[in-house]
Amino acid sequence: MTELSGDRRLELVIEPRSDDYDAADDRWRAQVGTLHRDLAAQVETFQRSRSELGAKGTVDEVILALGSSGAPTAAEESLRAWLQRDKNRSIDVRWDEDGVERHVTFSGDNVDAATVKEIARAAAARVGGLAWSSDTERS
């Protein structure tokens, strides 16, 4: 995950997963498309292709670019709503923090304030703002 030149946004790579569908299943692809559209309506998104070891061709990744203070919360609301529609869904989220790849997995009802705080802290550090205060209560 590389930072765009001069850009201080935090880039989150999201990878939706399902226990019920194969990644190539048209029904699953439609559900993932809905997630992508919902996220794009809330935060800046873009796609990037990457090579995957042992696979032919490339894998498309959807990137959320969090550059404003409300972006982590907006992304959380979209992820939570999409996950709650089917308990067999999960979303892996990866980001780079000072050269170290970080990772969380959201599933079902586990999109919680503590996890979002961790992402918000990383976003604040990237853009040079204040981290989410430890005494901030869940809304």
Domain ranges (residues) in the chain? 10-127
Calculate the alpha carbon distances from 69 to 20, 61, 100, 129 in Å: 35, 23, 22, 9
pLDDT tens readout for residues 43-68: 888 888 776 666 665 566 788 887 76
- Return d(Cα 62, Cα 91) in angstroms, integer: 12
Per the DSSP assignment, residues forming a β-bridge with 96 are 101
CB atoms within 10 A of CB 107: 15
Give the domain 10-127 fold: Alpha-Beta Plaits (3.30.70)
Q: pTM of the full predicted structure? A: 0.71
63-88 pLDDT, tens per residue?
888 776 677 777 878 888 888 888 88
Residue type, 9: R
